[in-house]
Amino acid sequence: MLKEDKEAQEPDLLRSQCRHYHRIKITIVFFLLAGICLFLFGRLTYFMVFQAQHYAEKAQELHERERSIKAARGRILDRNGLTLADNKTVCTVSVIYNQIQDREEVIRVLCKELDLSEEYVRKRVEKYSSMERIKSNVDKETGDRIREYDLAGVKVDEDYKRFYPYNELASKVLGFTGSDNQGILGLEVKYEEYLQGKKGQILTVTDAKGIEVEREGERRIEPIAGKDLVTSLDLNIQSYATQLATQAMLTKEARSVSIIVMNAKNGELYAMANVPEFDLNEPYEVTDAALTDFLKKKTPEAENFDLAAAREALSQEETQEILNGIWRNACINDTYEPGSTFKIITAAAGLEAGVVTPQSTFSCPGYIMVDDRRIRCHKTTGHGGQDFVHAIMNSCNPSFVTLGLRLGVERYYGYFEQFGLKQKTGVDLPGEAGTIMHKMEDMGNVELATVSFGQSFQITALQLLTTAASIVNGGNRVTPHFGIKAVDPETGEETVFDYPVESGIVSAETSETMRYLLEMVVSEGGGKNGAVEGYRIGGKTATSQTLPRGTGQYISSFLAFAPADDPEIISIAIINRPKGVYYGGQIAAPILRQLYENILPYLGIEMYNQEETTQSED
């Protein structure tokens, strides 16, 4: 009986255990599913509430097509606010493959209006891409005509192209921009961070096939214009300097002529002419003159050239080589032996060291022997006995060799460094060359002798001018520069540029003596042709041989400052390889005389005799 009851209870116990097990499983599954649902709900809430903006932007980016809008580049202005570099409104024509409805009509119109070959246009119109540019820098009138056709899939966006209203003027200073409107040369690249603006965008909504959703329209993010650059360049002074340089180059059949005009007290550059210049609006044009020079170097024995055929035969490397020469700024990129203008530095070093005074006497028999080297004077019969005033007036080589030897290598080299000749000027233009000078340990008496009158080393024209300025302005080595300030055209906010000035280059006494000596050079010495009636002018002439020597070619120059007693303006004119008469005092000095006759009154610098008359009346 008991056994039967026990057997009857066993199925009930098993069923009870099964039900309990199932309840546990159901509970676990329930809480697991509930946890998953809560997790998913939490994530969904996180995405929909906290990340809604982020994913909305992602979705918008996915469905929006971007077209960039170039920002207007900042203008470049002269010191009086006249525009030297501006922007011209142009257009960029592009096509969107998925939106074109009549490809043949699009090809026909673009070929006609843009003057492009059918093969070129068809290749781009039929290319499967989100957007294909057909042509940029299209003039606005042409762009407007294309818009009037209202062709589906053709986009005409307004753009900017750099425009230079004075074409060649100051081309090697201003520089130019590329097709992307970024600076490539000169001030354009040096001040890129100020001149460039911030690009804008045109955003259009598209469907999955890339076709614009018309009802959504376009959304624009406006570009931000670049800042205007105010420079120290003076349009009138630059124009006249360029005119004089061009006249000298043509008259003397010279290879090139350079003129720099600088404020002697603060380093502001009023003009830097490098003739021949190039057209800033067509910077990649290989001129006939540049091509001829290139061909002469390649085949010096030839006399006549077929320029058209030669132009077609130019390789890409040869074209770039010619363009690099066209763009080269001789005032800062090229070095040369300065010749007698460097006697300014030797004289200042001698006065500073106390090894010479204006009353010191020298003897010139027409040459001087240094070790085994005979160094002659330009006056082969000699200047005889003379004091230092007349030695510099006569630009006597033996006298300056004697002065250099008195200084000695170590002391002379020390002044070379003290005057800043071993460092670059710091001008705000790219590509400035450094001085090429002997190492001190390699300098013997002969090297010292030749350096003392400006030979056997090389220097840039701007370096020489800057060092001379520091010697005559009281001993302050200024930093030559063009950039004055950057101005936001919208707010008027200004960023003024500061430049270092190193004082104590020479003493005030040495500076005063040098001004007197160099004024004597112009009033009574070899620089007479640089004298300007009514003004006190100081300066130094030079005639140096080109390298390699023995070619019979010369570089003629004249460095001058005014007024001689308190210099405000300092300038240099350099004629490279003139034909015929080549002496600096005869062909370079008259250039600065004509320049000063015009710009000194323009700058408000009074004539000394007028000042004396006013003082006597008082």
Which residues carry out catalysis? 340
- Find how far residue 315's CA is from the centre of its chain: 27
Is the CA virtual torsion 375, 379, 382, 385 positive or negative? Answer: negative
Cβ atoms 351, 513 nearer than 8 A: yes
Q: In sequence order, what are the residues at sequence separation of 6 or more whose Cβ sits closer than 8 angstroms to the Cβ of residue 243?
A: none
- Look up residue 469 and give its amino acid: A
Q: How far is CA 270 from the centre of its chain?
A: 15
Q: Which amino acid is at 597?
A: E
* Whole-angstrom distance, CA of residue 463 vs CA of residue 466: 5
Q: 146: closest CA among 197, 90, 199?
A: 90
> How, if at all, do strands 76-77 and 228-231 pair?
parallel
CA-closest candidate to residue 357, choices 554, 513, 578:
513
Residue 516 Cα distances to 108, 386, 451, 568, angstroms: 76, 17, 23, 15
Do residues 466 and 496 make contact, with C-beta atoms less than 8 angstroms apart?
Answer: no
Q: Which two tokens stand for residue 573?
A: 């004119």
Classified as helix, coil or strand, 359 is: coil
Amino acid type, 490: E
Looking only at the bridges linking them, the beta strands covering 483-487 and 494-496 are antiparallel
Q: How many CA atoms lie within 13 A of 154 on its CB side?
A: 27
With residue 497 as reference, give the H or E element that holds it.
none
Longest dimension (CA), the chain: 160
**Type of residue at 354:** G
Task: Check if the beta carbon of residue 375 is closer than 8 Å to that of residue 401.
Answer: yes
Q: How far apart (Å, rounded) are the C-alpha atoms in residues 412 and 143? A: 66
Q: Containing H/E element for 454?
A: none
As a whole number of angstroms, the distance between CA 191 and CA 486 comes to 9
User: C-alpha angle with apex 95: 89 to 96, nearest 5 degrees?
Assistant: 130
Encoded amino acid at 128, one letter: Y
- Look at phi and psi of residue 136 and say left if phi exceeds 0, alpha if psi is from -120 to 50, else beta: beta
Rg for the chain, CA atoms, rounded: 38
Closest CA to 295 of 283, 310, 280, 309: 310
Q: What's phi and psi for 216, nearest 5 deg?
A: -80, -25
Burial class (CB in 10 A: 0-12, 13-18, 19+), 297: exposed
